[in-house]
A and B are shown apart, each in its own frame.
Chain A
Amino acid sequence: MPNLEGALHMSVDEKTVARIAHLARIKMDEDKLGPMTEELNTILKWVEQLDEVDTENVAPMTSAVETTLHWRKDEITDGEKADDITANAPRSEYGFFAVPKVIE
Chain B
Amino acid sequence: MTDLTKLTIAEARDRLHRKDLSAKELTQAHVKAVEDARALNAFITETPEQAMAMADAADKRLASGDAAALTGIPLGIKDLYATHDVLTTAGSHILDGFKPRYESTVSQNLWDDGAVMLGKLNLDEFAMGSSNETSFYGPVKNPWKATSGDNMGKDLVPGGSSGGSSATVAAGVVMGATATDTGGSIRQPGAVTGTVGLKPTYGRCSRWGIVAFASSLDTPGPITRTVRDSAIMLGSMASYDAKDSTSVDRPVPDYEAALTGDIRGMKIGIPKEYRVDGMPDEIEKLWQQGREWLQDAGAEIVDISLPHTKYALPAYYIVAPAEASSNLARYDGVRYGLRNVGDGSSLDEMYEATRAEGFGGEVKRRILIGTYVLSAGYYDAYYLKAQRVRTRIAEDFREAFGTVDAILTPTSPNAAFPIGEKMSDPLAMYLNDVFTVTANMAGLPAISVPAGLNSEGLPLGLQIIGNTFEEGKILCIADVMEKAAGFDAKPTNWWSK
A–B in direct contact per CB < 8 Å:
yes
- Interface contact A4-B311, CB-CB below 8 Å: no
Interface size class of B (residues with CB under 8 A): 35 or more
A59 and B365 alpha carbons, distance in the complex (Å)? 29
Instruction: Give which listed residue, A42, A49, A85, A87, contacts B311 with CB less than 8 A.
Output: A49
Q: Is the interface of A mostly helix, strand, loop or mixed?
A: loop
- The residues of A that contact B391 with a CB separation of less than 8 Å are 55, 58-61
- The residues of A that contact B442 with a CB separation of less than 8 Å are 64
With contacts A25-B351, A49-B314 taken as known, whether A65 is within 8 angstroms of B345 at the C-beta atoms is no
Name the interface residues of B327-376: CB closer than 8 Å to any CB of A. Answer: 329, 332-339, 341-342, 344-353, 355-356, 359, 364-365, 367-369, 371-372, 375-376
User: Can you identify 17 A-B contacts, CB atoms within 8 angstroms?
Assistant: A16-B372, A20-B371, A20-B372, A27-B355, A40-B369, A44-B369, A47-B317, A50-B386, A60-B387, A63-B216, A65-B443, A66-B248, A87-B99, A88-B336, A90-B333, A99-B334, A102-B347
Interface set of B (CB-CB < 8 Å, partner A): 97-102, 201-203, 216-217, 242, 245-246, 248-249, 308, 310-311, 314-315, 317-318, 325, 329, 332-339, 341-342, 344-353, 355-356, 359, 364-365, 367-369, 371-372, 375-378, 380-382, 384-392, 394, 426-427, 441-443, 468
Instruction: Give which listed residue, B311, B365, B443, contacts A39 with CB less than 8 A.
Output: B365
Q: Smallest CB–CB gap between B311 and chain A, Å? A: 6
Q: Please give me the 8 A-B residue pairs with the lowest Cβ-Cβ distance, nearest first.
A: A60-B387, A64-B443, A7-B381, A88-B336, A90-B339, A55-B388, A27-B352, A65-B203
- The residues of B that contact A67 with a CB separation of less than 8 Å are 203, 246, 248-249
With contacts A43-B317, A60-B388, A66-B468 taken as known, whether A12 is within 8 angstroms of B97 at the C-beta atoms is no
- The residues of B that contact A28 with a CB separation of less than 8 Å are 356
User: When each residue 53-74 of chain A gets 1 if its CB lies under 8 Å from chain B and 0 otherwise, what string results?
Assistant: 1010011110111110110100
- Interface contact A99-B347, CB-CB below 8 Å: yes
- Interface contact B242-A72, CB-CB below 8 Å: yes
Q: Smallest CB–CB gap between A9 and chain B, Å? A: 9
Q: Smallest CB–CB gap between A99 and chain B, Å? A: 6
Q: Does A91 contact B (CB under 8 A)?
A: yes
Interface centre among B217, B242, B389, B442 (most CB of A within 10 A): B389
Name the interface residues of A66-100: CB closer than 8 Å to any CB of B. Answer: 66-67, 69-70, 72, 81, 84-91, 97, 99-100
- Interface contact B351-A23, CB-CB below 8 Å: no
User: How many of A's residues come within 8 Å of B, CB to CB?
Assistant: 58
With contacts A42-B427, A64-B217, A88-B98 taken as known, whether A23 is within 8 angstroms of B380 at the C-beta atoms is no
A28 and B352 alpha carbons, distance in the complex (Å)? 8
Q: Which residue of B lies closest to A12 (CB)?
A: B372
With contacts A53-B308, A55-B389, A100-B344 taken as known, whether A36 is within 8 angstroms of B368 at the C-beta atoms is yes
Q: Smallest CB–CB gap between B426 and chain A, Å? A: 6
- The residues of B that contact A10 with a CB separation of less than 8 Å are 378, 381
A49 and B350 alpha carbons, distance in the complex (Å)? 38
- The residues of A that contact B249 with a CB separation of less than 8 Å are 67, 70
- Interface contact A59-B202, CB-CB below 8 Å: no
A84 and B101 alpha carbons, distance in the complex (Å)? 6
- Interface contact B337-A88, CB-CB below 8 Å: yes
A86 and B391 alpha carbons, distance in the complex (Å)? 42
